[in-house]
């Protein structure tokens, strides 16, 4: 994918800051400057929730490498047990922000993931890097992909097979549903789906509670290493360079702490750029994440796929051109409006929304491009796209660009209304 990018000029940035009431950052601002100026963070300690997944990397490394201190804050990563726990603590204010599923934040905004709460997406944390794993028992029955799974599912009573995702409005549910539907398997009538927290996926498949799951790394690799499953599809094979986790928070928190929000984004942008800068940095990140405070697992379960080295567990190995990325000159981290709108189209497709929302208005409300632009300028040398929309082609050949979301949502042969 290619797109035109521009870097905000100092004049244009100052104009943007003036339009926001005079609050803005200048490139290179350090702690001493912030302490003396009106842009000093309202909070010096920021508690950021995370689930033990590889894609929490930029939040963790922002704290570990000290990028947060550069912007006058201390990030305190808070390990959480489930996405439901992240949701509840974020809404209650126990967490200031969180490494969180894109669709969870949009679901809260729309009142379909819990009690309605105005939400904010400050930046995208990563693209790609999730997968759909199927059990070794299915492999023994000849299942290697969606089409062979379809044949087996069709030979049994509806609901004979159970598949897990991590949250009803989340990214993993949408990748799983999309992949199953592309194989002509209706995720609501042909199979059962259940919600399981990421760290519990492997154990639940080991004891036979489900025959497959969609989750982030390292749990797909762990299923292979433990000999209980294989990778049937990567999420990037469903949508190359798809959005995944975001830095989410309540809209009210941003309004009350705009300087802190900018500092938080700036620190995590620095970490994102650092991780993607070299394979050595990725290896260091994997070693840090493997520690007890974070994922509490072996670094080997993280490193390979962080480097794009894939082995599906049933004989195929490859270097993935669309492996997990955290920065890519700001292309990853920018909060594209079309990305948020896509999740709304899938929520509509699967009956989570009973009517078409104003897709663009909702995305503009949630995705805080203003905060992101200011933080990017503070960090410096980060390109900002000329348009908040991007064009992508998914596994079925359908093109998504945000131009007619209602028609897109209604275009799928398999859906739930």
Number of residues written out for the chain:
417
pLDDT of residue 17: 36
Alpha-carbon distance of 379 to 376, in angstroms, equals: 5
What are the CA-CA distances from residue 107 to residues 90, 100, 114, 117, 298 (Å)? 13, 12, 8, 9, 33
Contact 214, 130 (CB under 8 A): yes
Show the tokens assigned to 309: 């080295």
231: nearest Cα among 324, 317, 292, 330: 317
Residue 171 has φ and ψ, to the nearest 5°, of -65, -45
Q: What is the pLDDT of residues 196-218, one digit of tens each?
A: 999 999 999 999 999 999 999 99
251 and 119 Cβ atoms separated by less than 8 Å: yes
**Which residue intervals of 93-135 are DSSP H helices?**
102-110
d(CA 396, CA 239): 9
**For the segment 3-49, what is each residue's pLDDT rounded down to a tens digit?**
333 333 333 333 333 333 333 333 333 333 344 467 899 999 999 99
Q: What is the pTM of this model?
A: 0.92
Cα–Cα distance for residue pair 43/403, rounded to 1 Å: 39
Contact 80, 51 (CB under 8 A): yes
Q: Which parts of the chain register pLDDT below 70?
A: 1-37
| Cα–Cα distance, 10 to 125 (Å, whole number) | 25
246 three-state secondary structure:
strand
Domains and CATH numbers, the chain: 5-127+243-398 (3.40.190.10), 130-238 (3.40.190.10)
| Residue 38 confidence (pLDDT) | 79
Strands of 224-305, DSSP E: 229-234, 245-250
Instruction: Name residue 230's beta-bridge partners.
Output: 134
| Predicted local confidence at residue 417, as pLDDT | 78
The two tokens of residue 313 are 């567990």
Query: Residue 310 has what pLDDT?
Result: 98
């Amino acid at each position: 994918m290619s797109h035109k990018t521009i870097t905000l000029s100092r004049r244009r940035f100052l104009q943007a800051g003036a339009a926001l009431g005079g609050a803005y950052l200048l490139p290179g601002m350090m702690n001493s400057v912030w302490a003396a100026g009106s842009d000093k963070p309202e909070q010096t300690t920021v508690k950021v929730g995370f689930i033990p997944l590889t894609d929490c990397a930029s939040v963790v490394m922002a704290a570990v490498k000290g990028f947060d201190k550069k912007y006058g804050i201390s990030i305190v990563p808070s390990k959480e047990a489930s996405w439901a726990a992240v949701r509840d603590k974020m809404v209650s204010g126990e967490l200031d922000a969180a490494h969180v599923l894109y669709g969870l934040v949009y679901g809260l905004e729309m009142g379909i993931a819990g009690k309605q709460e105005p939400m904010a997406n400050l930046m995208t944390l990563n693209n790609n890097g999730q997968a759909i794993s199927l059990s070794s028992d299915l492999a023994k029955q000849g299942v290697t992909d969606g089409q062979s799974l379809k044949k087996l599912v069709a030979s049994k009573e509806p609901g004979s097979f159970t598949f897990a995702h991590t949250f009803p409005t989340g990214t993993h549910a949408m990748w799983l549903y999309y992949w199953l539907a592309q194989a002509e398997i209706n995720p609501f009538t042909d199979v059962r789906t259940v919600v399981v927290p990421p760290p519990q996926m492997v154990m639940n498949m080991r004891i036979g509670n489900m025959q497959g799951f969609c989750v982030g790394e390292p749990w797909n690799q762990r299923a292979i290493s433990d000999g209980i499953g294989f990778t049937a599809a990567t999420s990037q094979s469903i949508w190359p360079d798809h959005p995944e986790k975001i830095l989410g928070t309540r809209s009210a928190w941003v309004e009350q702490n705009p300087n802190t929000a900018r500092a938080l984004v700036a620190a995590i942008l620095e970490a994102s750029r650092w991780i993607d800068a070299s394979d050595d940095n990725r290896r260091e990140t994997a070693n840090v994440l493997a520690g007890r405070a974070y994922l509490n697992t072996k670094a080997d379960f993280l490193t390979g796929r962080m480097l794009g080295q894939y082995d599906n567990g049933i004989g195929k190995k490859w270097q993935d051109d669309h492996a997990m990325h955290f920065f890519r000159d700001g292309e990853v981290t920018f909060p594209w409006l079309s990305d948020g709108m896509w999740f709304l189209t899938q929520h509509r497709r699967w009956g989570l929304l009973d009517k078409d929302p104003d897709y663009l208005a909702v995305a503009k409300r949630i995705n805080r491009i203003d905060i992101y632009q200011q933080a990017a300028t503070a960090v410096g040398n980060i390109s900002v796209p000329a348009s908040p929309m991007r064009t992508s082609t998914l596994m079925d050949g359908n093109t998504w660009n945000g131009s007619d979301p209602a028609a897109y949502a209604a275009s799928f042969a398999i859906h739930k209304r």
